[in-house]
Structure 1
Amino acid sequence: MNETALTVHQTARPHGFPTPAHFAFVESALPEPPAGAALVENLYWSVDPYHREMMDDVPGGFALGVPLEGRSIGRVIASRTPRLCEGEIVFHRRGWRTHAVVTPEETRKLPRFDGVPLTAYLSTLGGTGLTAYVGLTRIARLQEGEDLFVSAAAGGVGTAAGRFARLLGAGRLVGSTGSAAKAVHLVREVGYDAAFDYHEGPADDLLRKAAPDGVDVFVDNVGGGQLAAAVRALREFGRIVRVGTISQYNDPDASAPRFDHADIVEKSIRMEGFLVSNYRHLQEELYEFAVPHLQSGRLALDETVVDGFEHIVDAFLAMLSGGNTGKIIVRGRTERMPGSRPWVLADGLPQRS
Structure 2
Amino acid sequence: MDRTVERCREVRLRAYPDGMIQPRDLTIAEAALPKAGPNDLVVRNRWFRVSISTRLMANPDAQAVEGIPFPVLKPGDALADGAIGEVVACPAGSGFEVGGFVSHPLGWRDYAVVDAGSCIALGQGPIEPAAYLGHGWTAYAALTRGIRVRPGDTVFVSSGAGAIGSMAGQIARRLGAARVIGSTSTQDKADWMTTDLGYDAVILRNRGSIADQLKAAAPDGVDVFVDMVGGAQLTAAAGAAREGARFVLLGALTAELNVAGASIVAPVELDSFQLILKDVTLRGYSADRDYAEAFPDWIAWQREAGLHFACSKVVGLENAPRALHDACEGRLKGLVMVEV
- Give 3-state SS (helix, strand or coil) of 2:245's partner: strand
Q: Which runs of 5+ in 2 are unaligned?
A: 65-70
Q: Which residue of 2 aligns with 1:225?
A: 232
- Taking the aligned partners of 1:190 and 1:255, their CA distance within structure 2 comes to 29
Structure 2 match to 1:346: none
- 1:288 and 2:300 aligned: yes
Structure 2 match to 1:323: 331
Q: What pairs up with 1:33-48 in 2 under 5 angstroms?
A: 33-48=36-51
The correspondence for 1:122, drawn from 102, 119, 133, is 133
Specify the SS of the correspondent of 2:331. Answer: coil
Which residue in the other structure is 2:242 paired with? 235
Amino acid at match of 1:210: A
Q: 1:62 aligns with which of 62, 66, 72?
A: 72
The answer as to 2:313 corresponding to 1:305 is yes
The answer as to whether partners of 1:44 and 1:73 remain within 8 angstroms in 2 is: yes
Tell me the residue number matched to 1:248. Answer: 255
Distance 1:76 1:161 in 2: 32
How many correspondences in the alignment?
323
Contact map agreement 2:101 2:123 (CA 8 A) in 1: no
SS in 1 for 2:78: coil
Q: 1:131 to 1:179 in 2, by over 3 A?
A: same
Partner secondary structure for residue 293 of structure 2: helix
Residue 135 (structure 1) aligned with residue 142 (structure 2): yes
2:26 aligned with 1:23: yes
1:76 aligns with 2:87: yes
Deviation at 1:81, TM superposition (A): 4.2
Per-residue displacement from partner, 1:245-273 (whole Å, max 9, x unpaired)? 11221324886222322222121111111
CA distance in 1, matches of 2:295, 2:124: 14
Give the TM-score, by structure 2 length.
0.89
Q: CA deviation at 1:120?
A: 2.3
The letter for the 1-side match of 2:109 is R
- Which residue number corresponds to residue 188 of structure 1? 195
Whether the aligned pair in 2 keeps the contact of 1:31 and 1:39 (CA below 8 Å) is: no
Q: Supply the distance in 2 between the matched residues of 1:111 and 1:140 (Cα, whole angstroms).
A: 32
Q: Can you list the C-alpha shifts for 1:154-213, whole angstroms capped at 9, x where unaligned?
A: 111111111111111101100001101111111111111111221111111111121121
Structure 2 residue identity aligned to 1:68? L
Show structure 1 runs of 5+ residues with no match: 333-353
Question: What amino acid is aligned across from residue 50 of structure 1 in structure 2?
Answer: S
1:210 aligns with 2:214: no
1:161 is the counterpart of 2:168: yes
Comparing both chains, which one has the higher relative contact order based on Cα–Cα distances under 8 Å and sequence gaps of 6 or more? Answer: 2
